[in-house]
Amino acid sequence: MSSAPATEGPLVVGVDSSTQSTKVLVVDTATGRVVARGQAPHTVTSGSMRESDPEQWWSALGEALRQCGTAAHEAAAVSIAGQQHGLVTLDARGRPVRPALLWNDVRSAPQARRLVERLGGAKAWADRVGSVPGPSFTVTKWAWLAEQEPASARATTAVRLPHDYLTQRLTGSGVTDRSDVSGTGWWSSATEAYDEDILDLVGLDPAALPRVTRPGEVVGTVRDGGDLPFSKGTLVAPGAGDNAAAALGLGLRPGTPVLSLGTSGTVFAVSEHRTADPSGTVAGFADARGTWLPLACTLNCTLAVDRVATLLGLDRDAVQPGGSVTLLPFLDGERTPDLPHASGLLHGLRHDTSPGQILQAAYDGAVHALLGALDAVLGGTADRSQPILLIGGGARGSSWQQTVRRLSGRPVQIPEARELVALGAAAQAAGLLTGEDPAAVARRWDTARGQVLDAVERDEATLDRITEVLCDAVSLLDRDS
Ligand SMILES: Nc1ncnc2c1ncn2[C@@H]1O[C@H](COP(=O)(O)OP(=O)(O)O)[C@@H](O)[C@H]1O
Ligand SMILES: O=C(CO)[C@@H](O)[C@H](O)COP(=O)(O)O
């Protein structure tokens, strides 16, 4: 009978508490070998709201850890990464006042527009915060809550991001990290501190916010895992926003583009320089190491395309080439382009259009939005011969891989490692034990290793057709129904 290889170094746990599920990896720090893994689903409300119960994230963490057997109990350190921007409101006893408003809930679009004006316009926000806040940003969600549910706002004594909430339940400490706080809209990337004028603008007491930790800091120890299978005293790392954790997990160096296909689609790269894009396309996030992570994000990616496949009664890979149909898959409203009230749009349907062509058009529409932002993310340093790293659940799908390849005209590298966010969190936890830079840990683990698909000629005709339909349809898509 074969037995699992013995572990060589101390074990660490990396967690990705993402939109759809919690994923946990137990990793050997010496080799990067994944010793155990677990996953448990989350519930997200449907309809016009996107909310989840933070208590369910905690239960899902417990369930995913229990799937790892005894390995989690042996871990010397843990780090929690999570979906960005979500507004978690806690009462004086540390309990959620209401479900969390998630990054893809667009109800705060009117508050976002008003806040941009009140601070002096998009450029003022970009210069100060690094980003122009849209409805995904925490600051606009708080403004919405204060306006629409004043009793909930009054009952709130602490405001947290999703990963902060979980870290606090583990350690008892109200802390966050620079990558995730940079997506709130109330942290200035110019001063690297909370912006009290902006907090004042939305009536939020700075005392309600977590302390921003330093990269590499031990933020606490597991105080009381409740029924979690950790040992008491396990070290806890700052954690990160999920995209920043993926950057750690890939050991990303400046200028290498990443395209992530999950509930959200994201394109990002590590940069040595702070970004301030007044157009709002690129969010000037901080990364989890002390440098920067310019990023663009769409609200409609794998779930939207899977929904189109279901509507057509097709398997998600039953795509067909050809035809002239264009599908803008903005089922949840959209962030890139900034059209929070948009819905899906189909154009160019003919008698001979096949269901498979409509499905391909959904992939094309989702990828067009991301690639359109890539040059802006890379700040004009784009070297098209360099592979795009493709990650997230969708990176496993051949239709996603081929669509990115055809519409980017670049080589596409698909890391074998599946859970790069959880792996990045594990690398951060490992750094606490070894003193290494987490990105260097990931490079030592060779996490980006994987097949490279050669470049093919860029399908400019399809890109141009989608751009034209989008430009012509903007007033329709921008309409608030
Ligand atoms: N083999 C596959 N082909 C295409 N899509 C896939 C495949 N496996 C998973 N997915 C997609 O990945 C998504 C989940 O990705 P993930 O990155 O875990 O999402 P999130 O981080 O937003 O929770 C699902 O919506 C699913 O459509
Ligand atoms: O809003 C953003 C980035 O700004 C999203 O990328 C969220 O962080 C959610 O990520 P997934 O759960 O889709 O991975």
Q: Is the CB of 302 under 6 A from ligand 1?
A: yes
Question: How far is Cα 210 from Cα 12, in angstroms, rounded to an integer?
Answer: 25
Residue 225: per-residue pLDDT: 56
Give, in order, the Cα–Cα distances in Å from 370 to each of 36, 352, 458, 463: 33, 29, 15, 11
Which ligand 1 atom is at minimum distance from the Cα of 19?
23
ipTM, interface predicted TM-score of the complex: 0.99
Q: Is the CB of 263 under 6 A from ligand 1?
A: yes
pLDDT in tens, the chain (481 residues): 345 667 888 999 999 999 999 999 999 999 999 999 999 999 999 988 999 999 999 999 999 999 999 999 999 999 999 999 999 999 999 999 999 999 999 999 999 999 999 999 999 999 999 999 999 999 999 999 999 999 999 999 999 999 999 999 999 999 999 999 999 999 999 999 999 999 999 999 999 999 999 999 999 999 865 678 888 889 999 999 999 999 999 999 999 999 999 999 999 999 999 999 999 999 999 999 999 999 999 999 999 999 999 999 999 999 999 989 999 999 999 999 999 999 999 999 999 999 999 999 999 999 999 999 998 999 876 688 899 999 999 999 999 999 999 999 999 999 999 999 999 999 999 999 999 999 999 999 999 999 999 999 999 999 999 999 999 999 999 987 6
173 residue type, one letter: S
Flag whether 386 is marked binding: no
User: Closest-lying ligand to the alpha carbon of 136?
Assistant: 2
Question: How far is Cα 269 from Cα 123, in angstroms, rounded to an integer?
Answer: 22
Residue 226: per-residue pLDDT: 67
pTM, entire model = 0.97
- Phi, psi of 273, rounded to the nearest 5 degrees: -115, 145
49 CA from centroid of ligand 2 (Å): 16
Catalytic residue ranges: 242
Which ligand 2 atom is at minimum distance from the Cα of 285?
4
Check whether the bond before 150 is cis (ω within 30° of 0).
no
CB 387 within 8 A of CB 410: yes
Residue 2: per-residue pLDDT: 44
Which ligand 2 atom is at minimum distance from the Cα of 103?
1
Question: How far is Cα 264 from Cα 248, in angstroms, rounded to an integer?
Answer: 19
